[in-house]
Amino acid sequence: MKKTILLAAMATSIAATPALAQSAPGGLHVGALAGYEGIDVEAEDGSATANADSAVYGINAGYDIALGGAFVGVEGEISTSGGTTEFPSTFAGARDGLETDAQYYIGARAGFALTPGVTAYGKVGYTSLDTRAFTQAGSLAELEENAGGIRYGGGVQIGLPGPLEARVEYRRSEYDDLASADFGKTTTDQVVVGLGVRF
């Protein structure tokens, strides 16, 4: 968690740097990403919390409109992770743990060129998360549910030879309560790297 907070602070400080007279990229882009995810789950009554670390990977696509040294755009993403949180044995809730699966995101992003080929950006949008609530003893049927929420973050995009580009990005997602399980606030923090093609 400390690492993700540090990366978020770095991304924020970069985004606050005055834009130089450089050109920002535009057009259609598609790519793949992979990285780290930390998930935190809180019991509905606030009596217990649980967390887990896992890998996350997925694909994304979007379209940017270049505005000189800045850009605005839209982006969508499908990803998946294998994080499984388990509450301590002292928690008396109906469900012992929560497993995350597919994640979906669509939102807006905007940024500006820092130097030729290097662009800083921020993003915000809607996200949803497929989950599975379970008990270790199997005394209750598993509950599969989708939770919606908001994702925000930022990163740095780097132009590579030809149409290739790379990115490093931090993002945080905050999901609504899961209505049919004993879980309240669910959040994920992710640090990912990506490789894409711009058309």
Residue 182 has pLDDT above 90, yes or no: no
**What CATH architecture applies to the domain 2-198?**
Beta Barrel (2.40)
Assess whether pLDDT exceeds 80 at residue 191. yes
Kindly report, residue by residue over 150-162, the tens digit of the pLDDT: 999 999 999 999 9
pLDDT tens-digit readout, 54-102: 899 999 999 999 998 999 999 999 999 877 777 666 555 656 677 778 8
Residue 78: per-residue pLDDT? 96
Q: What would the mean pLDDT of 167-183 be, rounded to a whole number?
A: 79
What is the value of pTM for the model shown?
0.78
Is residue 165 within 8 Å of residue 156, measured between CB atoms? no
Helix/strand/coil (H, E, C) string of the chain?
CHHHHHHHHHHHHHHCCCCCCCCCCCEEEEEEEEEEEEEEEEECCCCCEEEEEEEEEEEEEEEEEEECCEEEEEEEEEEEECCEEECCCCCCCCCCEEEEEEEEEEEEEEEEEEECCEEEEEEEEEEEEEEEEECCCCCCCCEEEEEEEEEEEEEEEEECCCCEEEEEEEEEEEECCECCCCEEEEEEEEEEEEEEEEC
Task: Note the pLDDT of residue 98.
Answer: 72
91-145 tens-digit pLDDT: 556 566 777 788 999 999 999 999 999 999 999 999 998 877 666 655 555 566 7
Asked if 80 and 60 touch (Cβ cutoff 8 Å), the reply is no
Domain map of the chain by residue range? 2-198
